[in-house]
Amino acid sequence: MRWWVLLVFGAYLGYYYLGHRQDAAFTGRKQLIDTSMDQEVALGVASFQQIVSESRLVRDPRIVQPIEEIARRLIAVGPRVEQVLSASRGIASSTEWDKFEWAVAVIESEQVNAFCLPGGKMAVYTGILPVAKNADALAAVMGHEIAHALLRHGSERMAQQKLMQIGTVAAGMSTSDLDIRQQQMVMAALGAGARYGIMLPFSRDHESEADYVGLLLAAAACYDPEESIGLWERMGAAGGQRPPEFMSTHPSSGSRISQLREWMPEAEALRAQFCN
């Protein structure tokens, strides 16, 4: 094997990481980001326009207005929640709130889903409404999706994927002197290791972080955080057979409920602070 290729890649990895790491908003976790908010917003707007153009939008104000109100309250309380969490962790508030272009669309679909793109464009699918059942549970869902955008998880995944692509090229170059069968075995092992040891755990960590921040946003916006427990119980019941957690991009419903229960005292305290 050409070990010098791996050494060069390792040196570049260190340089890239040290040059692009920063504290994540709200939590202070170290994250790797190499795109600007302006770039994120542009990507989010382009994706949103395409999705909306290909979807059937709900216009009924009886459905749309309550969802817009939930979004408004979650977004409005965000800066105060960030200040509280940042102060408790001794970090600076870093969210560029003025860069976000918030909007919410309601899409007619049986999908049990919602999303918030980088930059603040979000959508709620009507299929999630019967599962949520009430505004408090829907606020937990929408808070989770908004948290993904605030925590810049999309940009973080792009940065990680870039490193994985460079690593794949480096591994291919370093094993180019092996015979084809050995090279395929090495690359397959590296691919499986990257997927199950890095990419999937990384994705699950993002989901848990968004659960945490989303729960606090919903509580601070005066929604009942306890409703998130019932939400995930219903989501688990509606989800059917799922792969083992280590093979999934998301934590299991049981894991999520356990974590939400751990965070509930903090959420209730924040609700009492903001809503009395």
Would you please indicate which residues are annotated as catalytic (active-site) residues?
A: 145
Separation CA 246–CA 19 (nearest Å): 31
Tally of CB atoms within 10 A around 162? 13
What gap in Å lies between CA 116 and CA 95, rounded to an integer?
16
Residues 6+ apart with CB under 8 A from 195: none
Closest CA to 163 of 151, 171, 153: 171
Q: How far is the C-alpha of 132 from the C-alpha of 142, rounded, in Å?
A: 11
C-alpha distance from residue 35 to each of 20, 184, 206, 210 (Å): 9, 33, 18, 20
In sequence order, what DSSP letters do the residues of 148-196 get, joined into one string? HHHTTHHHHHHHHHHHHHHHHHHHHHHTTTS-HHHHHHHHHHHHHHHII
Residues 6+ apart with CB under 8 A from 179: none
Taking the C-alpha atoms of residue 27 and residue 31, their distance in angstroms, rounded to an integer, is 10
What are the Cα distances from residue 272, in Å, to 38, 70, 83, 180, 253? Answer: 35, 19, 16, 63, 27
Specify the pairing of strand 121-125 against strand 103-107. parallel
| Token pair belonging to 61 | 């104000």
